[in-house]
Structure formats: C-alpha cells, structure tokens
Structure 1
Amino acid sequence: MDMPEICSSKGCNTAATWAVLWNNPKIHTPDRRKTWLACDEHKATLSDFLDRRGFLRDVEPFTAATS
C-alpha cells in the first residue's frame, strides 16, 4: 500500500494537494525548481514564507504519481 505524500509544514500529516515550486537564485540555476508539498491549510503560509525571500516561483495542484 502506497503512503500519500504529506504536507511539508512542520508537524502536519495531512495529504498534500498543492506543489509549491521554488528556488534560491543565489545557489540554483534559473530553471531549477525545488518542491514543497502543501495541504490546503498550509498552502498560504508556505507560499508566503518563500515569497518574502524571493524564492517562490509557482504554486500548482499536486497529484501523487501512481506506479
């Protein structure tokens, strides 16, 4: 049985519904994207945290890959 991908917010065990895409321009190439997963409750706080630092690139719906 596959475990659902969970939110990246500390202490949250809720299934992720959003992919928060970011990069740090000081250390990543412009096309590189790192991903934090977010539930509906933490989408805004994770996005805002990255946006304040100039790291946020995009937020898109997350669907777990199936094998």
Structure 2
Amino acid sequence: MTSRTYAVTGMACGHCAESVTEELERVAGVTAVTVDVDSGTVVVTSDRYLETADVRAAVEEAGYELTTRET
C-alpha cells in the first residue's frame, strides 16, 4: 500500500469532497481517499503506483485542479 498527498484547488464544501472522492475511487488501484477541504489536500491510498496524470484526470473530471503532489 502507498499513500500520496495532493494539493487540490477549488474545493469549498462537503459536496466538493464527495465529488473528488467519487472520481478518485474510480481510478484502478485506489483503495481509500481522504479529502481535507480546509487544507485543500487529498490523500490517496492505493495498492500500486499511481501515475500523477491519472490522479489529475480524476480530479479534473470532478471539476477541480490538482496543483501539486506533496508526498
């Protein structure tokens, strides 16, 4: 299992968190998603390495912008 933290801009409420979580859970290999709207971060746990491009595409599909991969 690996966990990575990403910075996401544009999230402001619980609905935002739900949208991002829903899209990220569709990415193959993702086992858990934790969104912190206040800090603008998303922790993605997976059972394999995830390409940042795949995570970015899921976040963008939800209507937000992945700005950085923090860890």
Instruction: Verify same fold: TM over 0.5.
Output: no
- TM-score (structure 1 length as normaliser): 0.39
Structure with higher helix content: 2
Q: Relative CO higher for 1 or 2, CA cutoff 8 Å, sep ≥ 6? A: 2
Q: Which has the larger radius of gyration?
A: 1
